[in-house]
Structures are given as structure tokens and as C-alpha cells.
Structure 1
Amino acid sequence: MSDDSGNYDAGISEEEPQPEKEVVEVILDKRERGLGFNIRGGVDNRYLPDDPGIFVTTIKPDGAAARDGRLQRGDQILEINGENVQRVKHFEAVQLFHKSKEQITLLIKKGVAPNPPEEVQDYKVSAPVQGMYRKHFVLGGLVLVAVALVFWRYTRH
């Protein structure tokens, strides 16, 4: 197109600034069935290449997050119980989730990662690290039983 001055306008405009993402406070009760969502991210384990933040990657249908309805996949967690988690290691964010007893207060920036990658292995906030400890406990128990059986067999003779 050309305007009255004869200049050609290709219809390409400068990039429009993106509107600020909504920031909301979400208070969840983790006593009944856990928080019910998974996270990924941190300065040591980035979820998005250009952002070291902590992100929600999955919402479990039976957890507190699903019942509340405000937390969504792709939301960025800015604070956990008032502690800024925008530039922390993944483990530090996980520890903040575990420190809270009954309720947890999250400051969330909505829709930061609208199309997050699918192939992630998330930290399950709904099932604290107990599953990891249980696996090690069972393995240790099996080793202990094996050692006891060997000891018992050789002391019988």
C-alpha cells in the first residue's frame, strides 16, 4: 500500500508490547489430598531456556489446586509463603513446599509458559519426597534381610 505521500507501507508494524501477565495470590490447603500439582524449573534445572523460574507443569484432578481452580499449567510461581523463588535452585523451592504444614500461600504469574514442553519429568508436589524415601527404605530392608539370611545360614553349621 502507499499513502498520500507515495511511500510504500508493507503493513509491518513494530512489535506491540505484550500486556503484563496477571499476578494472583493462591492459598491452598494441603492436608486432605496434598497440593495436587507438579513443578519444574530453577536456576539449576531450567524449564524454559530463558527463564530460571519455577513453573506449574501438571494439575492433578483430585488435589487442592484443581479444587481451587486458579492454578494452571504454565503458571509461574513467584513466591512460596512469602519467599521469592524467581531465582532459586529447584531443590530450594521443593523445600519451601515441604516446610509448610497445613496451608501454603503462592504468588502466581498467570500463563507465563502457555505451551510448556510435554516431555518433562516433574517434581510431584502432591506426593512429597516420601516416595523416594520409601524406595530406599524398601531396598535397604531387602539388603538387610539378605544379610541376615546369609548370617543365619553360616551360623547354623
Structure 2
Amino acid sequence: MARRLAAYRRRVRSRLETAFAGEHTPQQVARSFAVGVFITALPTFGVGVLAFGVIAALFESVSKLALVASVVVLNPVAKWGVYAASFWLGVRILGPPEVTVSTISFTAAPEVVARLLVGNLIIAVILTVAGYAFAFRVIREMHDRDLGVAELVVGE
């Protein structure tokens, strides 16, 4: 388990270093990372990759590497936690779905999906703001100190 965490940390650090060392301004990279976090946090079921391609093709100011770096942060394993938290938050806001063991069917799906989407949208916005703030801070410090991301993120 410790080896997996260390490998994951190295992979995230490497992708962030590559993304943040590009030719874009700190605001552009942070904005690109934040957009990537938002799209990745949503339950897009693979359409997010298409959205990344469309955004990268339409907007020259987008850092493609920062978009990809966001996928490393919210990888498929982490997304299950986001989905669970989203449903929990949706239930807190909209109340529990009117589903019992005897009424479980596809007719109950809209109530469950509504709670998931409401919670997920709120969490995606929070993660987007946090992602922008984190990326902007790291990039600014990296530029100001001429450091690599590894030194800033993990204190190495």
C-alpha cells in the first residue's frame, strides 16, 4: 500500500510539474486546471474526455497539460468518494428519496439521480475553486522562486 501511494504521489507530482512549466500564464494554467477538475468531478461517464478535446481545440489559452493533470487528481478511484459524498449532500439538501425495498425499480432512479447531481454540482464547484487556488498558488511560487512543483507540494 505504501508503494502504491508513493507511486501515485510521484505520478501526480510529475504531471503537475509538466503542466505548470508550460508557456501559459499562471492564471491560464490555474484556470485550465480548475476547468479540468470541474469536468472530472462531474459524472460524465467518459464524455469528459471529449469535452477536454473540444475545449483544448477551441481555446488557445487553455493549457492542455493542466487539463490532463486534473484527471490525475480526480482519478477513477477517487471519484467513488466524490459520488458518495455527492449523494450524501444531495440527500441532506433534497431529503431522502422515496424508495423502499419493495419499490426499488427504475422508476425510483430519477429521485436518486437528482440527489446525486445536486450534491455533485455543489462539490464540483467547491473542488473547482480549491483547484484554481491551489494551482495558482503553486505556479506563482514556482515562478517567484524558480522552483519545481515537487519542492512546493511535498517539501522535498
TM-score (norm 1): 0.26
Q: Which has the larger radius of gyration?
A: 1
* Higher helix residue share: 2
* Higher strand residue share: 1
TM-score (norm 2): 0.26
Structure number with the bigger relative contact order (C-alpha 8 A, sep ≥ 6) is 2
